[in-house]
Each structure stands twice: as structure tokens, then as C-alpha cells.
Structure 1
Amino acid sequence: MIMAFDKPPPTPSSLVLDAPPAAAHSDSVDELVAAYGELDAVLDRIAQLSADRCTDAEVVALAKANEVAGRRIASLGLRRLMDVADRDAWRLTGAATMRMFVANHLGVPDVKRRLDHAAALSETYTVTGQKLTPELSATADALAEGAIAPEHVSVILDITNRIPASVEIDDQVAAEVALAEHARTLSPSALRQVGTRLLAHLDPDGELTDDRDRARQRSMTLSRQDAQLMSKLTATLDPITQAMLDVVLAKWAAPGMNNPDDPHSPSGSIDDTDPDTEVIKDAAQRDSRSQAQRNHDALNALLKSVLDGGALGGSHRGLPPQLIISITETQLRESAGLGVTATGADLPWHDVVELAAKADPHLAVFADHTEEILYFGRARRTASRAQRMALFARDRGCTAPDCDQPAMHSEAHHLTDWAEGGRTDINELGVACPKHNRAAGPRRDQWTTRLDRTTRRVTWTPPATTQPINGPPTPRINNIHHPDRALTRAQPPNHD
């Protein structure tokens, strides 16, 4: 464990389309812009009106009309997203990718779902300009009518993605049409039940499912930490992976093994302990954990073994592949607060202390001096490990506005591009994820990065191309990785 003190990217593949036909005439453009202005005015008018004098039947009808209108707006919104994606117009906002535009500039909470909907429900064009129907044509029509909700679309996408690839294409189309029709009258949960039965009908014996389907469905997702700093691990495993996991859990999650609450519990695999001794039997009798808890503790012990054994190699993006934790001098002094890892996870203070007691930590203190060389000028282009450690302690993660990528998934970025004379000095470097690293540079369509000498924060100034949209560009900073600083600014002054 290591502890420390404080050419633009392509469009996502799911949205890459061929060039659409020639743009509409200017009068059509003016009409479209005017129509959105009228819509805004209508919404303002509706917001100012009261339903107090409406009858019960009328307020029910108004609620239904509002829901239908919202669904139709959602359908049009998908078309607008595809307009932006077709032209790579998101670059005008300074976003590094289409996904970042949707998340940061449109404020969409579930970006993947919105882009998946746009890709499946929108028309596309061939090289010759021929219009192609949406992948889920019946579903697109139903959403455009306001007959179904985006939640229905998510269910239909999930079901159709699980239809075996070897099913006849006509049957796949018929299944989508049937699901879209059922969605008009069923709730999303009831529609999922219908979809499950439909899958069973298409492949009753499971004989049509092949390796292509299993490869398409395999996944493992680690959620973000909740208020208790806990995370959920969700996985869909292929048969071989499950078989191997079963063997690992049988050895590492056996009763009595790797029990963090029992100081005498054997660690590692059950085969590492002499089976003739009473150690395993006694530990098993003391073990009150559930099977799920034993599985968790087995994974914990296995990960420790991998980290301690050096199986991850010597470096990852310039940082050692170990548990690297950033703490502040105040936290050390007060023995309170959270430690932040290079992968962006938060650790309670008592866990940091326990880890430090079992490790040989490397303390990098960045004050007035250091024994490590942090200033190389033009002598080298790549940042050293000591510089990466210093950057993690200062920045914690990507410094680009609204980016949540942690330091372990980021790079050392020259604030002045190396090709433009930038120096590999600690005060001329910042943390940036690969996408934002490429988004910064000397061109008009790139961000400008500087280090504020007063706050010691990296500032990002939007490219000049954003001026017509957002006005004169102003430097921005990223507060995502520093919630403690936001809390400090929010506290009222002490007048005692």
C-alpha cells in the first residue's frame, strides 16, 4: 500500500452513422427553431395556469395528456441527439466525447441508457443517402406517439438483446413488434414478464443459444459507493468463468477460512493449512458468517494475495499497481475523515489505519522540499513515478471540468503541450484522463490548461469554438474529486 499527502477521440461506436442527406433549406431551419421557441412559450403558459377549477375527470385527463406529451418530447430528444452525433457537433461545446456532452452539457443522469435508446430508435442513412428504418421500428413509433414510456424501451431493448443470434430474422422482428404492442397496455414490470415468456418460446430448450450470445451477455459491474461507502458487484458469468469461480470459492470461502473477525482464522486456500490439525475445524465452529459473507471475505483475501504477490506488474499509467491512499495532514492529526484511493474509492479512517499498520507505506510529503526529483524541465517527456505520486496527492483525479475519472485511470498531462515547449516539472503538470488529455492543446478547438498559482488547482479554459454558444470562455476547475473543499467553502464563518 502507498499513502500520499495531500487528434480528438472518435464518436462512440454505437452512434457512428453514415452521412445524412443534404441539409434542409434555411426556411425549414427557421421554422424548426421557431417551433421550439413556441414550445417553450406554451410550457410557460401551462406553468402559469391553475387546475383548481377543473373537475376530477379533467385533472385525470390533463395528467394523461402531460404524460403523453413528455413521452413524445423524449422521442424528439433522441432525434436531436442523433443530429448532434451525426455531425460531431458536440465538439463545439468543448466536450471530449459525445457521452461527455450528454452527461455534462445536457445533464442526462443515465447516459448509456439515453444513447442506447437513440441508437436503437433512430433512422440512419447509407452512403448513398438511403434512409434506413430504426432497429426497433415498432418501439420507435410507439414512443413517438406517446403510447409507451422510456422505461418500456429499456425493457424491450433488454429482451431483444437476449434473443439468440441464430433465431430467424423474421421471428426477431415479430418479437419486437409484439413487445411494442404489449407495451402500450402493460407496465414495464409486466412487460418484462411477457418478454421472459417470449424468450422461452423462441428457444424453449436453450439449444439456439451459442457462444456468440454468451459473449454478448457477459458482464461485471461495480457500482459507485453509497452513503455507507458500500458497493454492489453485479455480474453475468459465462459457464467457464462460473466453473472457475466455484473452485476458488470452494477453497477460499470454506467455513472458517479468511474470517476477518477471527484472528486465528487460516488465510488463503484451505489447502494451505494442514488438514490433519484442528485449526480448520475449530475455526469453522467459530464461524457464524453466511455463505454470501464468506464469498465476500474470500474475494477480499484473494485480492490481497494478488496485490501482494506482484501479479499486476510494476506500473499502471506511471503509478504502482498497489493500494494508493491520499490523506491530509489534518486527517492525520485529528484521526478522522476519509482516505481517497488512486482508483477513486473512499476509505473510512479506521480502515486506512488498519491498512497502514500492515503495510510498509511510502509517505510522500509535499511541502517546501522533497528528496524526490520533481523538476526535469525538457530533460524527459514522461512523468516519473514520484511526479505521478505528487500529482495524485494534489489532484486526486482528472482535473477536467465534470470528469470523474480517478488518478489510476488517468495520465500526467503537460499543461503547456510538450511539442509547444512544455516542461516536465511538477508545477507544469496535471492529472487528465486519456480523452481529456487529447482534448487540451494549442488548437482553436482544444482546451487551454494552466495551474493557478494561488489555489494550486488546474484550470481548464474552453476552446474558442465555444464562444458563439456559451459566451466568452472562462477558466473552470473540477471539484468532483475534492468534496472536502466544497464543504469547507460551504461552512459559515466562525465569529467566536
Structure 2
Amino acid sequence: MSDLVTKYAALQSLVAEIAAETADAHDVETVAQLAIDHHTVVRQFESIGNQRILEVSDRDAHRAVGCVTVSEFLQTKLRITHPKKRLQAVQALEPMHAMTGEKLPPVCPNTARELAAGTIGPDHVHAVLDVLAKIPAAVDAEQRARAEQTLAEFATTLTPREIGAAGVRLLAHLDPDGQLTDDRDRARNRKLNLGCQDSQLMSKLTATLDPITRALFDVVVAKWAAPGMNNPDDDQSPKGDHGDADPELLKEAADRDYRSQSQRNHDAFKALLEAAVNGGLLGGSHRGLPPQIIVSITDAQLREHAGVARTVAGSDLPISDVVKLAADAQPHLAVFSDVTNEPLFFGRNRRLASQAQRLMAFAQYKGCSKDDCMTPFAHTEMHHAEADWADGGLTDSPHVAPACGRHNRAVGSEPHQWSTEKITEGPDRGRYGWRRNTDPPEKLRANHLHRIDELLHQDSPDIVEPPPPVSDIEHQLAHLAAERLPRAPRIDIVWPRWPITWAA
């Protein structure tokens, strides 16, 4: 064992000893100092951890533990919440290798020094890096280095929030009249992020828009978010932009409109997305599926008018919203398996899966089949899971499974790669599991992240007497379900504008 391995083993033993003790026997000044010393060491270990991460990256050591990328290693093995931000910190604070092989000094040497000394923490580092990212590209290297030094000094006494406030003044000093900021800076700082859905299935959208995008959005808001326009709570509200609306109807709708400006902006954005999806702007296909809302539900959810449906892009919809979407179009029933003439078995005649096969795979997996992968189905490829295409694999529904690009490419015969095999027993029976090529072989693992609701309710008894349907469309769908379910294991209810994949 190397000295480093021995020292880490001794450290873990010492940590266990410290954790078993209390500071009850010490005076209050010592207790306070112990807390200070503890967090100083924690911050120092953040710096040492950056060195370990850089070593993993330089030597591709993440592959030895079954991770395809360094980011996946940080997320799954180190359990780091924001792997991208941590990698940015590593790149800024650690000596990186140049293309020619020699080591370069850290981009932010002063910030790196303070973190190594334990005087600042990771939140301070991110605050400093956020300010530095906003410095115009036209600012020379000497001024940029002086700014980094100043921010590192501020970080030793200020909170991360206060660093941001100080950064505003620093940026104003570097570019007082805004003349240095150019298109490169605006392009570098543009962003739009969609947050996770909360307990109400609502999502927060945050954005930093470049000037043209802002101007375009202002035009949309002026026309589509006008009072009375695109009001989902008013059946008589004109749709689209007010230029095509009857003036009298628009005036009446505006008088009934009690929405705030923010709510009207939201509804205009929603109407614009509907127009893009329904108007064919997205083309005819995305990864073998129509670029529309496609969701998977069970017949019990439809009967009970309860639960949550998962869309092909990975978001959740209440069943009540699914019924509303269905009511906007004329439904038709497409039954898979032996009831339909749609071919699900292609053998070696074609490599790419058909739309029907992808719909079937979505109903079964909901997302990437690799365990612990959060990639939704819309961003997956069809992986020849029984045998790779190059090895004679067949493009048949029972032999394929969805996999995101990085995990699809991670399958192979090398020790650091993965194999897939169909699970034959338990709650995952019939789905493909993944395991790393180790000796002895690991246990097959299926991905449960996209099917948590199914696993929680797999032993729940079915409700024999469903409540009465709440709408005509639900009544029609429930009737179709009762009539068709005994004949086919998979049913696809597709609306021309709002397709819904229904997994029985």
C-alpha cells in the first residue's frame, strides 16, 4: 500500500475517533475554537479534493469504477450535488496541463491559495468565479489578474452574497461606460434554465437573454399577452395574437380578464409553444417519435382520474391535464402486438427502431434503461440490448432498450465497459438490466428512477368499482380501455396533436 493510501486509512480512523468524542469537558472558548478549526479543515479538504478530482480526470480513473464521464463520477461516486460547478472550480484553481504537456499555473492562484488555507469555502469560490465570468473579454490580462486578487481578498472577510455585491462595483470600475462589453461577452453569458418540477408539478424558468432575444420576447408579450388574449380560464378568449382577433370580442374578453401581467406573460408563452408544436415548426420526427406531447398512463389511472402521467421528455402531467389535452382533438386507437398490422419485429432488415417500437419502449422504460441515469426517453437512442448490431443483434422490440448516448456507447467487452441482459424474475422481469464487466460478474441492475410510482404501487389492489367519469372524453377512453385491454398487452391512444402512449 502506498503512503497516501495508508494516510487516508489513518485519517478515516481518526475521524471515527473524533466523532465518538464530545467537547463537554472544555470551556466555551475552546468549544468555539474547535468549531472554527473543524470548518477550516473541511475547507482545506475541499482543496485537496479538487486535486484528487483532477488526478481522476487526467488518468481516466473514472472508467475503473464504471463511470463513462468525470461528471458522472462526481455525481454518482462522490455524490456531489452540482458536478458542473465543481469541475469549473477544479479547472480554475488547479494547475492544468497545456496541449504540449507542461503544467500551467492556476487561472485563479489567489483564490486557490485561500481555499487551500481554509480561509474561504466552496461557496466563496463559486461567487468569485461568477464575478470573473462577467468581466468583458476586452479587459487585459493584468487587470483581470488584479481583479481576481482583489476578490480573493474580499472572500476572506465577506459572505458569498457580499462578494457578488462587491463584484458589481468592481465590474463598474473595469468598464464604467459599458463600452468594453461586446457580443462575445453577451454570447458567453446567455442562458435559459428550466428547474425541476416541485410538489405541485410547477417549474421555475430562469434566463439571461441577449438583447435580440429580449426584443423578440417583448414583441411576443405585446401581442400575445395583451389583456383578454390567450386566457385559459375564458373559453371565449381569442387565441394567437390580437391582430387576428375580432375587436369587439377582444374588448369583452379584456373586461373579463383579471390576470396579472406575469400570468398573461406565462399564458402567452404557453400559447406560443402550442403554436410551435401544433403548427409543424418542430418537423415530423425527433429520435423516431413525433415532436409532440407523448405521455404514458395506465388504464387504472384513467378510470380513477387520479395520478401522474410521465411525458416522453421526462416531465409529469396530472391526469386531469391529460384529459384536457385529449379533449382538444379527435382520438383514434392504435393497438400494438398481435392486434395491429404495425410491424414490431424487423430482424436484420433495418438497424433503427420504428416509431411504434420506440412508443413501446417508452411505455415500458420511461427513460434510459441504465441504472441511476436520469435522462428522459426523448433524449435516448434505441440500444440493441440482447446483442449489439455489429454482433448480429436484431432490431426487434423484445431485444432493444432505450439508452442515452453516453451509456449506449459505454457498452462493450472491455473491463471498464458495460453489458446488458434481460432480467428474468422480480419486479423488473422482462426489462433489460446493466452490469459492469467484472469478475465475478455484478448483479444486473434496472433503472427505477423513471418508474418510482409503479414500484410503490405494484402490490396495491386494483379498485373494482371506478368512480363515475368526469367528462365525455374520459368516458369514451374508459370504454375503449375496457373493450380493448383483454386483447392486447400494449395500447397506444394517439391524438393528432396530443399523442398519449398508454401502458396497460
Is TM-score (shorter-chain normalized) higher than 0.5?
Answer: yes
Which of 408, 411, 416 aligns to 1:440? It is: 411
For residues 70 and 16 of structure 2, the distance between their equivalents in structure 1, rounded to whole angstroms, comes to: 30
Output one character per residue of 1:423-444: Cα deviation in whole Å (capped at 9) or x when no partner. 1110000010111111113444
Query: What is the CA–CA distance in structure 1 between the aligned matches of 2:340 and 2:307, rounded to whole Å?
Result: 26
For the 8 Å contact 2:368–2:402, the answer to whether it is kept is yes
Aligned to 1:484: 453
- Aligned pair in 2 of structure 1 residues 35, 393: CA closer, same or farther (>3 Å)? same
Could you give the per-residue CA deviations for residues 45-94 of structure 1, whole angstroms, max 9, x where no partner exists?
A: 10011111221111110111111010011111111111000111111122
Q: 2:384 aligned to 411, 414, 437, which one? A: 414
Q: Where do 1:322-401 residues align within 5 Å?
A: 322-361=292-331, 363=333, 365=335, 369-401=339-371
Closer/same/farther in 2, CA of residues 489 and 54 from structure 1, 3 Å limit = farther
Q: Which residue of 2 aligns with 1:16?
A: none
Does structure 2 conserve the Cα–Cα contact (< 8 Å) formed by 1:427 and 1:451?
no
1:60-139 to 2 correspondences below 5 Å: 60-126=32-98, 129-139=101-111
Q: Tell me how far apart the structure 1 counterparts of residues 94 and 85 of structure 2 sit (CA, whole Å).
A: 14
The one-letter amino acid paired with 1:440 is V
The Cα offsets for residues 283-328 of structure 1, whole Å up to 9 and x where unpaired, read as 1111111111000000111111111111101110111101101111
Structure 2: gaps (5+ residues): 462-504
Q: Residue in 2 aligned with 1:26?
A: none
Q: Give the structure 2 partner of residue 294 of structure 1.
A: 264
Q: Which residue identity is paired with 1:480?
A: L
Q: Which amino acid aligns with 1:438?
A: R
1:182 has 2:151 as partner: no
Q: Does 1:460 align with 2:434?
A: yes
Question: Quick one: distance in 2 between partners of 1:126 and 1:258?
Answer: 55
TM-score by length of 2: 0.88
Q: Secondary structure at the match of 1:41?
A: helix
CA apart distance, 1:274:
3.0
Question: What is the number of residues matched between the two proteins?
Answer: 457
Deviation of residue 379 (structure 1)?
A: 1.5
Specify which of 2, 6, 13 is matched with residue 41 of structure 1: 13
| Alpha-carbon distance in 1 for matches of 2:60, 2:330 | 49
Query: Counterparts of 1:329 and 1:116 in 2: how far apart (Å)?
Result: 47
Deviation at 1:103, TM superposition (A): 0.8
| Shift, 1:472, TM fit | 4.3
Q: 1:335 touches 1:349 (CA, 8 Å); kept in 2?
A: yes
| Partner Cα distance (2:371, 2:94) in 1 | 30
Bigger relative contact order, structure 1 or 2, given CA contacts below 8 A and separation 6+? 1
Is structure 2 residue 395 aligned with structure 1 residue 424? yes
Secondary structure of 1:125's partner?
coil
Maintained 8 Å contact 2:226/2:242 = yes
Quick one: distance in 1 between partners of 2:380 and 2:348?
22
Question: Are the structure 2 counterparts of residues 317 and 106 from structure 1 closer, same or farther at C-alpha, using a change threshold of 3 Å?
Answer: same
Question: Could you tell me how far apart the structure 1 residues matched to 2:27 and 2:202 are?
Answer: 48
Matched residue type, 1:459: G
Amino acid aligned to 1:352: V
Say if 1:491 and 1:56 are closer, same or farther in 2 by CA, change over 3 A: farther
Deviation at 1:451, TM superposition (A): 2.3
What's the counterpart of residue 238 of structure 1?
210
The 3-state SS of whatever aligns with 2:207 is strand
Counterpart residue type for residue 259 of structure 2: R
Residue 366 of structure 1 deviates from its aligned partner by 5.4
Q: Deviations over 1:350-392 (max 9, x none)?
A: 0011011113456555576544211111111110110011011
1:484 corresponds to which letter in structure 2? D
Q: d(CA) in 1 for partners of 2:383 and 2:301?
A: 28
Between the aligned partners of 2:326 and 2:94, the Cα distance in structure 1 is 53
Offset at residue 340 of structure 1 (A) = 0.7
1:216–1:363 Cα change, 3 Å: farther
Residue matched to 1:402: 372
For 1:62 and 1:491, locate their aligned partners in 2 and report how far apart those are by CA, in whole Å.
52
Supply the distance in 1 between the matched residues of 2:149 and 2:204 (Cα, whole angstroms): 35
Q: Indicate whether 1:269 and 2:241 are aligned.
A: yes
2:291 corresponds to 1:317? no
Identical aligned pairs, as a percentage? 50
Q: For 1:149 and 1:362, locate their aligned partners in 2 and report how far apart those are by CA, in whole Å.
A: 59
Q: Distance in 2 between matches of 1:76 and 1:164?
A: 31
So what's the TM-score if we normalise by structure 1?
0.89
State the match for 2:137 in structure 1: 165
| 8 Å CA contact 1:183, 1:191 repeated in 2 | yes
Long gaps (5+) in structure 1: 1-28
**1:124: Cα distance to partner?**
1.4
